[in-house]
Amino acid sequence: MNFKESLRRMFRKTRESKDPVSVVLLQRVPRFLTKEMIALAAERAWQRSFQNEDEHSRYFVVQEVTSAALESKDPFPNAVTFVKIGPWMLNVLQSPQPY
């Protein structure tokens, strides 16, 4: 089973149970995922464009980096990232520290 099939199975379960699902990606080295990197990964997985951010689009990525993080030139800025995939929404949380 590939990653996309795993996510689809989890989303199917949340529709039935209404419980949130968490997916954790542990990396050996912290790397900040930009909006473009996440959009490209989503496009490969769902085989559709995630570049459109108009209010009627059902497939897009939005990322907001705090102004303080931009000013500090931090290589791992605080950011809020959402991925809209049809009827579902993913919140991407990134941290260079284990939690």
Q: Is residue 77 part of a domain?
A: yes
Q: Is residue 97 part of a domain?
A: no
Q: Is residue 75 part of a domain?
A: yes
For the question of whether the overall pTM of this predicted structure is more than 0.85, the answer is: no
H-helix or E-strand containing 63?
A: strand 59-65
Q: Is residue 61 part of a domain?
A: yes
Q: Which of 85, 82, 89, 80 is nearest to 49 (CA)?
A: 85
User: By three-state DSSP, how is residue 37 classified?
Assistant: helix
Q: Is residue 98 part of a domain?
A: no
Count: domains in the chain: 1
pLDDT single digits (tens) 29-78: 888 889 999 999 999 988 999 987 777 889 999 998 876 666 777 777 77
Structural domain range at position 38: 3-92
- What is the pLDDT confidence band of residue 26, given thresholds at 50, 70 and 90? confident
Q: Is residue 32 part of a domain?
A: yes
- Spatial distance between the Cα atoms of 99 and 97, rounded to a whole number of angstroms: 6
Q: Is residue 99 part of a domain?
A: no
Q: Is residue 84 part of a domain?
A: yes
